[in-house]
Structure formats: structure tokens, C-alpha cells
Amino acid sequence: MRLGRIASPDGVAFVSVEGPPDDPAQAVAREIAEHPFGDPQFTGRQWPLADVRLLAPILASKVVCVGKNYAAHIEEMAAHAKSSGGNSATFVDPVIFMKPNTAIIGPNVPIQLPADANPVHFEGELAVVIGRPCKDVPAARAAENILGYTIGNDVSARDHQQKDGQWTRAKGHDTFCPIGPWIVTDVDPADLEIRTEVNGAVKQNSRTSNMIHDVGAIVEWISRVMTLLPGDLILTGTPEGVGPIEDSDTVSITVEGIGTLTNPVVRKGKT
């Protein structure tokens, strides 16, 4: 099932997106009553996908991110840190940090570059959506607590990251967490292609099988620390190939079996 969230002439609703998602003229959005968790119930209302606007597919209470989860990305960031006078240590256990939920935006909403941030990088990632409250989840039972998977972009202001020595400001700006276009409930996350394009040029092309810590291990690690709630997002890390985005760019991230998340880029304060 593809679970989405839409704005229609009748308001905002959770929906099931049915039909060919790459052909909005043939796809429909069927309204889900109340919320998509558990066994979704339908209201009977539906709209052609072409007649509605896709929003961020979930309202998360928190966004937990995993850093340094692809070996090749660790290497490229170590090279960047060396050239800029910083450091990029590696860790045996997952490295986690958080983005505020105010950073979340949906498909086609502009990523706003802060006037004082340069460079700002894209980071294409597989995102996990939690399906029920959970704590201390063994890796082998992680799937029982997952609603599905979507696509995330862990937008990062590198100069803020280097200057601050931690990641909250660099990764927490409004619009720095695009997600979407929907949540897929029946995809296996173990070995999916993940590809990022900027203005049509491929910048990242890897597979989730290259993660150092897989989804089960990530959920286990995070849930030891904090209770995860329905709708919470986990961004699982980015592969190599990250790079800068500029005003007027377009970033598209495709994850096999899920779809494509596209966002334009604008510079805040531009006149």
C-alpha cells in the first residue's frame, strides 16, 4: 500500500494512492478515515491524484537521523574534513542526531537556503516510518513496529556544522527535511537502489545493502534510548556523492520500490 497525505478541495486527509503513481491522470487518492495506523478504514471519498496536492506523508513528533552509515560516505566526509581543518571520526555504534519536526516539508516544496549558509548539501536517504509506540525493540522484531518506508533528504549546512562542532543548527533549519512522496508499506528495505539527481545529473547512486547498520539494528539502537511513537521518522544515512545545492536547483531522490521525491531550491532573502 502507498500511504499519502493530501490537500484537496475538501481539506487535508490521509489517503491510499492507487493506480500507476507515475501517471497522475490514472492514479486515485482514496481517503482514509482518521489515520493510517493499524488497519486503515476508508471513507468512500476519492480524488484523481492529478486534482490534489501531495503533502509530507506523515506528521512526525520527531525525526531521528543516523550519521555515517555508509563507508564510502565516511571516506568522502573525512577527506572534506581534512581539507577544511576539521575531523571526521568513525564509530562502531550508530551515530544518531535529531532534526526538529518543523524542518519537514513535502514534495515540490522549496528547500530554503539560509542567507548565511554556504555550502548547503543534499543527502538522499531511505526513511523509516514508525507504526506504533515502541521501546527497547530487538532488531529481529523491528519490522513489527514499522508502518513503512519513504524518502528523505537530510539537507545540511556544512559551514554551520563545522563552526558549531555539532549538527543541530546545520541540519535543523526549516525546510531541511523533505520527505515523501508517500509511505510504502510492503517494500523490503534490505537492498534498494538509492539515487540522487541535481538538475538531472546523477550525484548519488548506491544501494541500501551498503549500510553499515541495517534497519533492524538502527531501530534497536534508537529505541534503547527513546520511545518511538507512531509517525516518527528515522533517516537511515546517506551514501557517498553528497554535494552542494544552489538557488534555482532541483533535487530529485529516487528509492527503488518507493518513488521519487523532488524539491526545488531557493535562497532565502533573495530579491
| CB environment 209-238: b (16+ within 10 A), e (fewer) | ebbbbbbbbbbbbbbeeeebebbbbbbbbb
Q: Please check whether residues 142 and 107 belong to one and the same domain.
A: yes
CA–CA distance, 42 with 14 (Å, rounded to integer):
10
Q: Please check whether residues 46 and 105 belong to one and the same domain.
A: no
- Summarised one tens digit per residue, pLDDT across range 151-184 is 999 999 999 999 998 999 999 999 999 999 999 9
- pTM exceeding 0.75: yes
| pLDDT given at position 271 | 43
CA–CA distance, 266 with 200 (Å, rounded to integer):
17
Q: Please check whether residues 153 and 259 belong to one and the same domain.
A: yes
Q: Please check whether residues 31 and 135 belong to one and the same domain.
A: no
Q: Please check whether residues 19 and 141 belong to one and the same domain.
A: no
CB 137 within 8 A of CB 124: no
Q: Please check whether residues 47 and 67 belong to one and the same domain.
A: no
- Summarised one tens digit per residue, pLDDT across range 212-254 is 999 999 999 999 999 999 999 999 999 999 999 999 999 999 9
CB 100 within 8 A of CB 170: no
Chain-centroid distance, C-alpha 29: 22
Cell of 85: 581543518
Q: What is the mean pLDDT of the chain?
A: 93
Q: Which residues are within 8 A (CB) of 230 and not within 5 positions of it... i.e. 6 or more apart?
A: 35, 37, 130, 131, 132, 133, 147
CA–CA distance, 264 with 135 (Å, rounded to integer):
37
The total domain count for the chain is 2
CATH of the domain at 50: 2.30.30.370
CA–CA distance, 21 with 17 (Å, rounded to integer):
7
- Summarised one tens digit per residue, pLDDT across range 178-202 is 999 999 999 999 999 999 999 999 9
Other CB atoms within 10 Å distance of the CB of residue 139:
16
Residue 46's domain comprises 2-55
Q: Please check whether residues 110 and 179 belong to one and the same domain.
A: yes
Q: Please check whether residues 185 and 114 belong to one and the same domain.
A: yes
Q: Please check whether residues 12 and 79 belong to one and the same domain.
A: no
CATH of the domain at 145: 3.90.850.10
77 against 217, higher pLDDT: 217
Q: Please check whether residues 8 and 68 belong to one and the same domain.
A: no
Residue with cell 534508537: 222
Q: Where are the alpha helices (DSSP H) in 113-188?
A: 158-164, 168-172
CB 215 within 8 A of CB 189: yes
- Summarised one tens digit per residue, pLDDT across range 2-17 is 999 999 988 999 999 9
Q: Please check whether residues 105 and 12 belong to one and the same domain.
A: no
Residue with cell 545493502: 209
Cell of 249: 536547483
Q: Please check whether residues 20 and 124 belong to one and the same domain.
A: no
- Beta bridge mates, 30: 16, 46
